[in-house]
Amino acid sequence: MSILRRRKGTENKKTEPEYEEFKEKKSLRKLKGRGRWSCVDGCCWFVGCICCIWWLLLFLYNAMPASFPQYVTEAITGPLPDPPGVKLAKEGLRAKHPVVFVPGIVTGGLELWEGHQCAEGLFRKRLWGGTFGELYKRPLCWVEHMSLDNETGLDPSGIRIRPVSGLVAADYFAPGYFVWAVLIANLARIGYEEKNMYMAAYDWRISFQNTEVRDQTLSRIKSNIELMVASSGGKKVVIIPHSMGVLYFLHFMKWVEAPAPMGGGGGSDWCAKHLKAVMNIGGPFLGVPKAVSGLFSAEAKDIAAARSMAPSFLENEMFNFQTLQHVMRMTRTWDSTMSMIPKGGDTIWGGLDWSPEEGHECNEKKPKNNSTQTSESDRTRKSANATRVKYGRLISFGKHVANLHSSEIERIDFRDALKGKSHANSTCRDVWTEYHDMGIGGVKAVADYKVYTAGSVLDLLHFVAPKLMKRGSAHFSYGIADDLDDKKYEHYKYWSNPLETKLPNAPGMEIFSMYGVGIPTERAYVYKLSPGGDCYIPFQIDTSAEGGSESPCLKGGVFHIDGDETVPILSAGYMCVKGWRGKTRFNPSGIHTFIREYNHAPPANLLEGRGTQSGAHVDIMGNFALIEDIIRVAAGATGEDLRGDQVYSGIFKWSERIKLKL
C-alpha cells in the first residue's frame, strides 16, 4: 500500500516541462480513444450553430418595440394603408359565413404524447413548431420521434406525436414567423372569433386517409363544419386551405360523400349543403417538382447550394455529421410528401422535347441606363434561347444532356439493372437509407438513363426508394383517369388527384385558386453523382450548372419558371383555368371556378417585415389584397363580385397547350 502511495506521489511531482508533456499525451490519448466526433456531437454542433443564430436574431427581434410609433414609420415609408380588416369594417362588412382553415405541410404544430426515455420531460411539448428547442438539445432523439414506422407509415412502437389543436396550431410557425395569424387578426376586425373560425389541424406527416384511421381527423372536420352551419343559422362555410392542405381538402370532399366504412357517409349532397366556397391558397393541385428532388436527394435549391458550399456540415463522414442522411431517413417515412409528386405525367408536365411553358423568358436584370429600347436581334436571341429550355425533363444528369435533342441522348434503361448490396449497411448504422441497398451498379444505372420526365420519374422513385413508394402507392395515385365512372376510382388513393376524381355535385359552390406570381420557382434539375463515400447520398443537384446570359432560367443547377417560389403556375392554376372550367368530366355539376393571381412585390424596407404585397408561398398569407378577397367572400361576396379572374401570368396560354380530354 505504501509503495502504491509513493508511486502515486511520485507521479504527481512532475517538473513543469514534464507536466506539459503529460497533458499533451493525455489529450492525444483521449482523442485517439474517441477516434472522431460522434454523430450526436456533429449534429449538435451543426444544428446548435443554426439555432444560436436563430436565437440571436430572435433576441434582437424581441428587444425591439412591439411596434414603432406610427408617425416614425410613416416618416420613413409614407402613409400606411389600413389593414384589410379595418378597411372593410369601415365599409360596413361584418362576419357572416363561418370559416375553416386547413394548414399545409410542416406549418402545423406537433406535440409529444408518448415517447422513449430520451424524450423524458417532453410530455405535450412541441417537437415541431414553436422554438424547436429540442432539435438542437437532443437531435437524434428528435429525429427518432419525428420519424414514422417505415413499413406502416404510422406511429413507431412507444411513440405518439399528435397535432396541436385550436387556432394556435398554425397561427405562427415559430416566434415572429406568422402563417395564419395575420388573416385571423383581420377576420377578427369584422367580428370573427373562435366560435366561427376553426383550424382543421391534422398530422401532416401521415397519409390523408390515415389521419382518419389513426386520429379520426376527417370525422372531426365533418362534425365541426356541421356544427358551425347549424349554429350560424344555416350559413354555409368558407374553406381556406393552404399548400398541401389544398390536396387534403380535395381528399376530404370525396371522403365525406363516400359511404362508410371507407368514407364519411355524408351523401352526394353534403358539400352542396355545407360549403359556400373553397378558397385555395398556393395549391399544388398537380404536384411540385420540388417534391421529386426532396425524395430523390433530400434537396431543394437552397439545400443544394449549402451542400455544395459546406458539404462537411451536411454529410461529411470524417466528422460524422451526416445531416442530410438523417433528414432523408426521417422524411422518407412521411407518406404525405408523396401526395405532391407531379401528377398527370408527360401529358401535363411535358416530355423530352416539349413542355406547356415552352418559350417562357426568365427575367434578366435591367440595364443600368434603364433603356427601354431593345434591338430586334436581341429579341430574336432571347426568344430562341427561351425555347431551348426543356422543362419536361424534370431531372437531367449533366447540363449538356438537359439541352440535347432526345435523338442525341444515349440512354441505358435502369429498370432491370441489378442492385448490389453495399457494405455500407454495416458501417452507416443509424444513417442507413435505401440507397445503401442499391450498390454501385444500381447507382450507375440511374445516372446512365440520363433524363427523367414526370412519367419516368415515378419509375425512378420506385427503383431508388421501394419501401417509400410501396407505402405511397397504397395511398396516392398520379395518373389521368380514362373513365371516371370506373369503380376503381371509388378508392381513397385517387381522391387527392384532381385528374382521377370528380368534384362534388355542388353547382352553387365556388372554387378559387389564389397564388403568387413573379418569383422564380423550381421546375427542373441538373444532377450529378456525389463524390462522397459509402454513407453519402449518391446523387446531388449540380450547383455549378449555370445558364448565364444564354439561358438565364438555369441557376445553380435548377431551371426556374414563374410561380410562388414553391408551386409552379401550371400546378396552381391549370385545374381552375381549364380542367374544371365549365362543365367537364372532372366537374360534372359545373362548379364556378376563379383564378386570383397576386403579383409579387417584395417589402420596400425592414419596417415592412415580410411585406403586404408578397406573392411568396407562405408570405402571401400576409398579402393585403388576398386577405381582402377572402374577407369579402366570407362576408357574403361571390367570385363575380370580386370581378372574376385576376391574371398576370401566361397560365391561359400554357393550359391550352395541354391536350387533355375534358
Cα 149 to chain centroid, rounded: 21
Judge contact between 441 and 420, C-beta under 8 A.
yes
Beta strands 126-128 and 197-199, pairing class:
unpaired
- The count of other CB atoms within 10 Å of the CB of residue 487 is 7
Q: Give the pLDDT band (50/70/90) at residue 392.
A: very high
Sign of the Cα torsion 62, 63, 65, 68 reads: negative
The DSSP 8-state label assigned to residue 568 in this structure reads B
Give CA–CA dist 358/388, Å, rounded.
Answer: 8
Judge contact between 232 and 196, C-beta under 8 A.
yes
Q: How much is the pLDDT for 402?
A: 92
Q: How much is the pLDDT for 80?
A: 72
Own/partner pairs for 31-39, CB < 8 Å, 24+ apart? 36/318, 36/319, 36/320, 37/319, 37/320, 38/320, 39/140, 39/320, 39/321, 39/322, 39/430, 39/431
Q: Which secondary-structure segment (H or E) carries 511? A: strand 510-517
Give CA–CA dist 186/621, Å, rounded.
Answer: 11
Residue 335, SS3 per DSSP: helix
Q: How much is the pLDDT for 258?
A: 97
Picking from 188, 150, 191, the residue whose alpha carbon sits closest to that of residue 171 is 188
Q: In what order do the strands lie in the sheet with 126-128?
A: 126-128, 110-114, 160-163
Q: How much is the pLDDT for 74?
A: 54
Q: Is 564 a catalytic residue?
A: yes
First to last CA, the chain: 96
Helix pair angle (244-257, 208-215), 10° resolution:
60
Per annotation, catalytic residue among 243, 422, 496, 649: 243
Q: Is 97 a catalytic residue?
A: no
Which one is predicted more confidently, 389 or 9? 389
The DSSP 8-state label assigned to residue 113 in this structure reads E
Q: Give the pLDDT band (50/70/90) at residue 435.
A: confident
Sign of the Cα torsion 576, 473, 241, 607 reads: negative
Per annotation, catalytic residue among 542, 562, 564, 645: 564
Cell of 632: 369579402
Average pLDDT over residues 539-549: 91
Q: How much is the pLDDT for 52?
A: 53
Q: Is 215 a catalytic residue?
A: no
pLDDT digit string (tens) for 291-328?
Answer: 999 999 888 766 655 545 445 444 444 334 467 778 88
Q: Is the pLDDT of residue 214 over 50?
A: yes
Picking from 233, 255, 245, the residue whose alpha carbon sits closest to that of residue 278 is 245
Residue 206, SS3 per DSSP: coil
Beta strands 99-102 and 237-241, pairing class:
parallel
DSSP bridge pairs for 568? 563
pLDDT digit string (tens) for 494-505?
Answer: 999 999 999 999
Average pLDDT over residues 35-40: 42
pLDDT digit string (tens) for 326-353?
Answer: 888 888 899 999 999 999 999 999 999 9
Cell of 631: 374577407
Which one is predicted more confidently, 385 or 302? 302
Which one is predicted more confidently, 308 or 157? 157
Q: Quote the pTM value.
A: 0.86
Q: Is the pLDDT of residue 507 over 70?
A: yes
Sign of the Cα torsion 177, 180, 183, 185 reads: negative
Q: How much is the pLDDT for 14?
A: 44
Average pLDDT over residues 542-549: 91
Per annotation, catalytic residue among 571, 617, 629, 645: 617
Q: Is the pLDDT of residue 94 over 70?
A: yes
Give CA–CA dist 518/654, Å, rounded.
Answer: 16
DSSP string, 92-155: T----S-EEEE--TTTS-EEEEE--GGGTT-TT-EEESTT-HHHHHSHHHHHHHH---TTTSSP
What angle is formed at CA 434 by the lines to CA 432 and CA 438, rounded to 5 degrees? Answer: 115
pLDDT digit string (tens) for 605-649?
Answer: 776 778 899 999 999 999 999 999 999 999 999 999 999 999 999
Helix pair angle (624-634, 181-188), 10° resolution:
50
